[in-house]
Amino acid sequence: MKKYDYHVHGTYSSDSSLSYSELIGKAVTEGYTQIAFTDHFDYLPSEAIEYGIPSYVEYINSIERIQALHKESISILAGVEIGEFHRVNAYTLPMFQHRKPDLVIGSIHVLPDGFNVSVPFNETMSKKQIIDYYTENLAMVEESPINILGHLGIHKRYMTETPDETYAETIVDKILDIIIKRDIALEVNYSPFRKPYGKFLAEPSVVYRYLEKGGRLITIGSDSHSIDNFNDYYNKTIEELIDCNCHEIAVITPRGWETSPISEK
């Protein structure tokens, strides 16, 4: 089985302790074919003030040196994770003029009211906030030049039970329709296995709906921020994807998206 991880954070992300060299060593040992470093580039003022913004030029140069050093042992992609892309176009698009990343994850962390859905929170989100979360995802996939929709449903990561979000299903279906139309991959992010929720996101029911609609581009992301995160739930994710009747994952090639079998049933 070929293994791919398209969501890994190194030390250019302020919340990560993962060194590139340590990660690559483990990836090679564990038999990965390709990985993508996708450090955070978050330009919302609240995020920039809290976490800072790394130098994109330094970041790309660093990844390119690593790519050259390890090209015989593993394929390494220079990716980025950009939060709220559709709201920060003025800052992110000039980055691509310097050097377009190999892949771009678009994700929503902060709602228009400032509520951060990606960190632990004790309060209950209102229906309006949940609708706002999915509406922001819809706007992002409609408007932004992204390759992957990251961790759809991240606000559930610290929950202990699956909430009733049937009132948001119409918006979720629109998101799935748009990403299929635009060839944006749906990420299966397995970081919630480390959290109380215990399901990958986008969760199995959403993956199943995506496949039923004819979607074919699913990526796997560990969302690693430490060496212990990498590969910890990869096999469990594969098993549960197969249970969703998914048997291929999407991979980046010089020709664009292609698919690779994940396992034999």
Distances (CA, A) of 166 to 17, 112, 149, 176: 38, 22, 21, 15
Residue 29, helix vs strand vs coil: helix
Q: How far apart are CA 76 and CA 74, in angstroms?
A: 6
Q: Chain-wide mean pLDDT for the chain? A: 94
The DSSP code for 109 is -
Mean pLDDT of 20-39: 95
Residue 48: pLDDT band by 50, 70, 90 thresholds?
Answer: confident
* Tokens representing residue 165 in the block: 């979000």
Mean pLDDT of 121-138: 94
Q: What are the backbone angles phi and psi of residue 30, rounded to the nearest 5°?
A: -85, 0
In terms of DSSP bridges, do strands 218-221 and 248-253 run parallel, antiparallel, or are they unpaired?
unpaired
Residue 103: pLDDT band by 50, 70, 90 thresholds?
Answer: very high
- Cβ 210 vs Cβ 180: under 8 Å: yes
Start-end of H helices in 125-233: 127-143, 169-181, 204-212
**Is the predicted pLDDT of residue 12 greater than 90, yes or no?**
no
The DSSP code for 228 is T
pLDDT for 22: 93
Residue 16: pLDDT band by 50, 70, 90 thresholds?
Answer: confident
**Is the predicted pLDDT of residue 265 greater than 50, yes or no?**
no
**Is the predicted pLDDT of residue 264 greater than 80, yes or no?**
no
Q: What are the backbone angles phi and psi of residue 197, rounded to the nearest 5°?
A: -65, -45
**Closest Cα partner for 117 from 142, 79, 150?**
150
Residue 67, helix vs strand vs coil: helix
Domains, the chain: 3-261 (3.20.20.140)
Cα–Cα–Cα angle for 26, 28, 33, nearest 5°?
125
Cis status of the peptide bond prior to 202, with omega within 30 of 0: yes
User: What per-residue string of b and e applies to 144-172 under the rule 16 or more CB within 10 Å gives b?
Assistant: bebbbbbbbbbbbbbbeeeeebeebeebb
**Is the predicted pLDDT of residue 192 greater than 90, yes or no?**
yes
pLDDT for 98: 86
pLDDT for 97: 87
C-alpha Rg value of the chain to the nearest Å: 17
pLDDT for 95: 86
**Closest Cα partner for 61 from 7, 8, 12?**
12
